[in-house]
Structure 1
Amino acid sequence: MQTAGYCKVLIVDDEVLIRQGIKYFIDWEREGFHIAGEASNGQEALERIEELRPHIVLTDIVMPIMDGEQLTKEIKSRYPDIEVIVLSSFGEFDYVRSTFQSGVADYILKPKLDMQHLLTVLKLTAKRIPALQTGQGGGERSLTMERLLDSFMNGFESSFRVEEVKQFFPHAHFRLVGSNDRGVAERLTELPQSVQVLLPQPQERTAHAWLINGNETAMSAALQMVKNRTSANGGAVAVSPVFSRLEELSSVYRDSLLKLLQYAFYLPELDVLVFEELPQPRPAPQPFLLNKLTEAFKWGQFNEAFGELRDHVSAMAACYTLDVFEFKSFLGNLIFNMTVLLSNMEYNSKSLETSKYEYFKKIEQSRSANEALGILDDFIAEAEHCIASKAADSSNENIKKLLQYIQNHYADPLTLTEVAKHFHFNPSYLSSYFSTHNEEGFVDYLHKVRIGKAEELLQAGDAPISEISGLVGYSDHSYFCKVFKKNTGLSPSQYRRQYRSNGK
Structure 2
Amino acid sequence: MNQICKVLIVDDEILVRQGIKYVLDCEQEGFQIVGEAANGREALNSLLTLQPHIIITDIVMPVMDGEELTRLVKRDYPDTEVIVLSSFSEFHYVRSTFQHGVADYILKPKLEAGALLQVLKKTRERIPGLSGGGPQAETAAQPLDTLLGRMLAGYRLPPESEADVKRQLPHNCFALLGWETLQPVPGGEALNRSSVNAAMTNNATSLGGNNAATSSNARTAYDAASATVTTAITGELDRSVPGRVQCVIPGTEPPGTAFMLVNLEEAHWPELLEAVHRLADTLTGQEVELRLTLSRSFSSLSELAAIRQESYARLQQHRFFRPDQVLLVQVERPEWETPPPKFNLTTFTEQLKRQQLEEAFGDLHQHVDALSRQNDGDVYQFKSFLGNIIFNITNQFSHLPELEEGKYSLFRAIDEAGTAEQAMQILDHYLTRIMELTSSATSAPGGNANMAKLLQYIEEHYAEPLTLTELARHFHFNPSYLSSLFTTHNREGFKEHLNTVRTGKAAELLRAGEAPIAEISSMVGYGDHSYFCKVFKKYTGLSPSGYRRQHYGQE
TM range (shorter): 0.5 to 0.7
Corresponding residue number in structure 2 for 1:317: 372
Greater relative contact order (Cα < 8 A, sep 6+): 2
Structure 2 SS opposite 1:9: strand
SS at match of 2:303: helix
Which residue number corresponds to residue 216 of structure 1? 266
Q: Name the residue aligned to 1:174.
A: 174
Tell me how far apart the structure 2 counterparts of residues 71 and 359 of structure 1 sit (CA, whole Å).
33
The residue identity in structure 2 corresponding to 1:320 is: N
The alignment partner of 1:136 has SS state of coil
TM-score with structure 2 setting the length:
0.57
Give 1:296 shift: 1.9
Q: Is the 8 A contact 1:87 1:108 kept in 2?
A: yes
Partner in structure 2 of residue 156 of structure 1: 155
Distance 1:31 1:394, change over 3 A: closer
1:177/1:257 contact within 8 Å kept:
no
Please name the residue that 1:240 is paired with: 295
Contact 1:263/1:321 (<8 A) preserved = no
CA contact (8 A) 1:10 1:58 kept: yes
User: Judging changes above 3 Å, is the alpha-carbon distance between structure 1 residues 136 and 237 closer, same or farther for their aligned structure 2 residues?
Assistant: closer
Comparing 142-151 with 42-51, which one deviates more in the overlay? 42-51
Counterpart for residue 502 of structure 1: none
Larger C-alpha radius of gyration, 1 or 2?
1
Partner of 2:354: 299
Whether the 8 Å CA contact 2:372–2:420 is kept in 1: the answer is: no
Hey, what's the Cα distance between the residues in 1 that align with 2:108 and 2:14?
14
Cα distance change, pair 303–156 in 1 and its aligned pair in 2 (3 A)? same
Whole-angstrom distance in 1 between the partners of 2:432 and 2:75: 61
Distance 2:413 2:323 in 1: 20
Query: Is 1:207–1:258's contact at 8 Å kept on the other side of the alignment?
Result: no
Q: How many residue pairs end up in the alignment?
A: 386
Find the aligned partners of 2:37 and 2:119 in 1 and give their Cα distance: 21
Change (3 A) 1:316 1:123: same
Q: 1:11·1:57 contact (CA, 8 Å) conserved in 2?
A: yes
Q: How does 1:259-338 map to 2 (within 5 A)?
A: 259-260=314-315, 262-263=317-318, 265-266=320-321, 271-279=326-334, 281=336, 285=340, 288-299=343-354, 301=356, 305-306=360-361, 308-328=363-383, 330-331=385-386, 334=389
1:141 is matched with 140
Deviation per CA, 1:281-310, whole angstroms, max 9, x where unpaired? 467556534342120233355565355434
Cα shift at 1:316: 2.0
Which amino acid in the other structure matches residue 217 of structure 1? A
How do residues 86-485 of structure 1 correspond to structure 2 at under 5 angstroms? 86-87=84-85, 91-95=89-93, 97-132=95-130, 135-138=133-136, 141-159=140-158, 161-181=161-181, 185-186=229-230, 187-188=232-233, 189=236, 190=238, 191-204=241-254, 207-231=257-281, 233=285, 235-260=290-315, 262-263=317-318, 265-266=320-321, 271-279=326-334, 281=336, 285=340, 288-299=343-354, 301=356, 305-306=360-361, 308-328=363-383, 330-331=385-386, 334=389, 367=419, 388-389=441-442
Partner SS for 2:117: helix
AA of the residue aligned to 1:288: F
Q: Equivalents in 1 of 2:99, 2:356: separation in Å?
A: 73
Counterpart contact for 1:14–1:40, Cα < 8 Å = yes
Change (3 A) 1:237 1:21: closer
Q: For 2:77, which of 68, 76, 79 is the aligned residue? A: 79
Change (3 A) 1:207 1:46: closer
Relative distance call for 1:342 and 1:221 in structure 2 (3 A) is same
- Shift in alpha-carbon separation, 1:392–1:90, aligned structure 2, 3 A: closer
Classify 1:289/1:58 alpha carbon distance in 2 versus 1 (closer, same or farther; 3 Å): same
Q: Does 1:56 align with 2:106?
A: no
1:24 aligned residue (22, 25, 29): 22
Does the 8 Å contact 1:6/1:134 carry over to 2? no
- String of CA shifts for 1:29-51, please: whole Å, max 9, x gaps: 11211122223443333333333
Alignment of 1:492-503 (within 5 A): none
In structure 2, do the counterparts of structure 1 residues 387 and 208 end up closer, same or farther at CA, with 3 Å as the change threshold? farther
Q: 1:313 to 1:41 in 2, by over 3 A?
A: closer
In structure 1, distance between residues paired with 2:90 and 2:54: 21
Does the CA-based 8 Å contact 1:264-1:273 persist in structure 2?
no
Tell me the amino acid that sits aligned with residue 169 of structure 2: F
Compare 386-395 and 321-330 and name the one that shifted more.
Answer: 386-395
Counterpart of 2:112, as a letter, is: D
- Indicate conservation of the 8 Å contact 2:146/2:250, yes or no: no
Deviation of the 1:259 alpha carbon? 0.8
Which of 21, 30, 34 is residue 32 of structure 2 equivalent to?
34
For residues 72 and 6 of structure 2, the distance between their equivalents in structure 1, rounded to whole angstroms, comes to 19
Q: Give the whole-Å Cα distance in 1 for the aligned partners of 2:273 and 2:352.
A: 51
1: CA distance, partners of 2:382 / 2:13: 29
2:145–2:248 Cα contact (<8 Å) kept: no
Q: Secondary structure at the match of 1:230?
A: helix
- Supply the distance in 2 between the matched residues of 1:121 and 1:359 (Cα, whole angstroms): 43
| Gap change, CA 1:58 and 1:280, over 3 Å in 2 | same
- Shift of the 44–300 alpha-carbon distance from structure 1 to 2, 3 Å rule, reads closer
Deviation at 1:235, TM superposition (A): 4.6
For residues 59 and 259 of structure 2, the distance between their equivalents in structure 1, rounded to whole angstroms, comes to 35
In the aligned structure 2, how far is the partner of 1:314 from the partner of 1:87?
47
TM-score, normalisation: structure 1: 0.62
Q: Distance in 2 between matches of 1:90 and 1:47?
A: 26
C-alpha distance in 2 between matches for 1:362 and 1:19: 28
Q: Distance in 2 between matches of 1:62 and 1:267?
A: 36
Q: Look up the match of 2:498.
A: none
| AA partner of residue 177 (structure 2) | V
Q: Secondary structure at the match of 2:176?
A: strand
Letter in 1 for 2:354: W
Identical-residue share of aligned pairs (%): 42
Q: Are the equivalent residues in 1 in contact too, given 2:6–2:33 (CA < 8 A)?
A: yes
Deviations 1:219-248 (A, max 9, x none): 321111122342254655322111122332
Once the 2 structures are TM-superposed, how far is the Cα of residue 193 of structure 1 from its aligned partner? 0.8
1:276 corresponds to which letter in structure 2?
Answer: V
**Distance in 1 (alpha carbons) for counterparts of 2:299 and 2:429:** 48
Which moves more between the two structures, 212-221 or 313-322? 313-322
Deviation, 1:340, is 7.5
Give yes or no for contact 2:3–2:129 (8 Å, CA) kept in 1. no
Q: How far apart, in 1, do the equivalents of 2:414 and 2:387 lie?
A: 10
Deviation at 1:361, TM superposition (A): 7.2
**Partners of 2:106 and 2:367 in 1: CA distance:** 56
What is the root-mean-square deviation in Å for CA atoms of aligned residues? 4.4
Structure 2 unmatched ranges of 5 or more: 182-224, 449-555
Q: Which runs of 5+ in 1 are unaligned?
A: 396-504
Q: Report SS of the residue matched to 2:46.
A: helix
